[in-house]
Every structure is written in C-alpha cells, then in structure tokens.
Structure 1
Amino acid sequence: MMTMNRMAATNMSGAPSTNMPEMMPASMPNMVMVPRCTMKMEKCTGGMKITCMCDDPTACTMMQNLCTMMAGGMCSVACMMNGMMVCCCNLTMGACKVEMTKDGCCVTCTSGDKACCDMIQGCCDCMTACMKTGCTCCLMMGGTPVCCCMC
C-alpha cells in the first residue's frame, strides 16, 4: 500500500484562507497527495545535500516523476509542527541539482560564493534541528510539494 500525506497547497489568489466549511469547495482542489519518505540533510562542500528515500516502490516512482517534472524550479523545504509552519528555507542563494537514486532522489544545493554557502549550510542546520525535534518536513520544487518526511 502506497504511503502518502495530504498537504494543503497555497491559495494562489492571495485571499486569506478561512476555516469555515461553507467556504470550502466540494471537490477541495487545494489538496495534493505527496509521497512520504525518509529525508536526510547534510552539509557538503559548497552547500548542502538533501536525500529523500522511499521504501514503497510506487511512492518512490511518484516522487521521482515529480522531481523530474519540477526540476529547475525553486527548491525549498518547509518544516511544520502541529500544523503550523516553524521554518521555511527557500534555497534561492544556490544552484540546486536533482539526481535520481535507486530508492528516491538527492537534491544538492551549492554556491561558489562563501556568504551564500554559509546561508545554505545555516538552512541545513536549522532544518536538521527542526527534524530532530519532530517537525514534519516537506521538500518543494517550484512551490509544488515533492515529498514529505515525518521524523
């Protein structure tokens, strides 16, 4: 059985969201199914590396397809606890490269600029700390969730 998480997509109209049921459309188009994975973040020369691994072959294939389709878009990681965003790191200060692995994908974000490298590695430290304390982390490319990790 494929393991997925439901993630709420952002409201593209810019209108504030409400919790009133009568305001929700019947088909709920703002929900998307995201593969659940194991995520590992580590510093590397010039930046950081994010490795996403799925045990389920179907979830792995879906994640790899999403990564292939969304590659080249802005890469970001959102960390949430109890449904509230704790941290969101937009990795705009470096070049992000996606490589497929046998059980998922590996995203490497690096920069030749020392200050940008320090920011990328600072994001790595922040997200690692969030994951250690139990946050749910979601890797996004171009604003689209690609995989989700519940640590």
Structure 2
Amino acid sequence: MAGMMMLERSVGTACLPGMSAAASPAATTGNTLMVPRCTIRVEKCAGGAKLHCVCDDELACATLQNLCKSLCDGLCSVNCLMNGICVCQCNFAMCHCTCECTPDGVCITCCSGDEACCQMVQACCECLAQCLAAGCNCCVCFSGTPVCCGCC
C-alpha cells in the first residue's frame, strides 16, 4: 500500500466533475479513493506533450498500467491541487491521447496535427510543469476517473 495514495472524495470531486464511486474502478473505502502514487514528469514533444507517470512500487505500477489500459480511450485530464484546493485543470480534449506502458509506469502522449491545438497542448504542458515545480499534487485522469496521483 506504500505505492497508493488516498484522496478524500470531497476534495477529488471538486476537480473531477461527474465522478462518483460507482463510476470508479479503483478501490474505494468510505469517503476516500485509492489511486497509485507516482512521480509525474511532463515534456513537450513534436506535435504535443508527453506525461510520464513512474511508480516505485510494483503493485502501484501494475495498478496504474491496468487502469490506463481500461480507461485510455477517454478524455485525458490533469488536475493540480495545492493544499487540497484545485488550482489548475488541463483537459486534453483538443488532441488525441495514447497510453504506452513502460517498465516502471506509463507514458501518455497527447498530440494534434493542428498547429493551434498543438500550441494549446504545449501551453498546458508548460502550465503543468510550473504546477509540479511549485509542489502541486497532480492527478491524472481518463474520463474523469483518476488513474494516478503524484508530484515531480
């Protein structure tokens, strides 16, 4: 369980509209939601951005990879929280996101062939990098369902 993070449902739902316990495949207990803990790194790439989610724990890594495999066809978003309050939410609705398993987690690539959309994706990447550098806890979601949480 060292590789898992507890989120209070009331805090998480403030940034995750439409999320409910019934919609979440992750383990739930009372007013909390268990998601894999990871280290998140973002980088610009040709046509968009990449999110690298890396887990230290084997169980957390397997959980993250399974969640991503089952949910990756939905809208990808990242919610950044500082002191439990949502300070930023980036939705990658303007591009196509794919998820690739890595030996220690996943790499989510969000790209667009449209130049204006690519610029928006890369601006989101810069914003997320600033939030992570400032110490925000970020939660990566597919279709509003968290798949992992962590910081840089």
Question: What's the TM-score, normalizing by structure 1?
Answer: 0.86
Q: Which amino acid aligns with 1:115?
A: A
Q: Find the aligned partners of 2:18 and 2:78 in 1 and give their Cα distance.
A: 19
Correspondence for 1:44: 45
Instruction: Say which one has the larger Rg.
Output: 1
| Superposition misfits of 4+ residues, deviation over 3 angstroms | none
- 1:48 to partner: Cα distance: 0.1
Q: Find the aligned partners of 1:39 and 1:126 in 2 and give their Cα distance.
A: 14
Correspondence for 1:79: 80
Q: Find the aligned partners of 1:96 and 1:86 in 2 and give their Cα distance.
A: 23
Compare the two structures and name the one with the higher helix fraction: 2
Q: Secondary structure at the match of 2:118?
A: helix
Which blocks of at least 5 consecutive residues in structure 1 are unaligned? 14-26
Q: Find the aligned partners of 1:107 and 1:12 in 2 and give their Cα distance.
A: 22
Q: Find the aligned partners of 2:91 and 2:150 in 1 and give their Cα distance.
A: 17
Is 1:6 equivalent to 2:6 in the alignment? Answer: yes
Which blocks of at least 5 consecutive residues in structure 2 are unaligned? 20-28
Q: Find the aligned partners of 2:136 and 2:79 in 1 and give their Cα distance.
A: 9
Q: Find the aligned partners of 2:62 and 2:151 in 1 and give their Cα distance.
A: 19
- 1:3 to partner: Cα distance: 2.0
Paired-residue identity, %? 51
Q: Secondary structure at the match of 2:113?
A: coil
- 1:6 to partner: Cα distance: 1.6
Q: Secondary structure at the match of 2:81?
A: strand
Is 1:142 equivalent to 2:143 in the alignment? Answer: yes
Correspondence for 2:99: 98
- 1:12 to partner: Cα distance: 4.2
Correspondence for 1:22: none
Is 1:67 equivalent to 2:77 in the alignment? Answer: no
Q: Deviations over 1:31-71 (max 9, x none)?
A: 21011001110000000000111010010000001001101
- 1:5 to partner: Cα distance: 1.2
**Matched positions, count:** 138
Instruction: Provide the aligned C-alpha RMSD in A.
Output: 1.8
Is 1:129 equivalent to 2:126 in the alignment? Answer: no
Is 1:33 equivalent to 2:34 in the alignment? Answer: yes
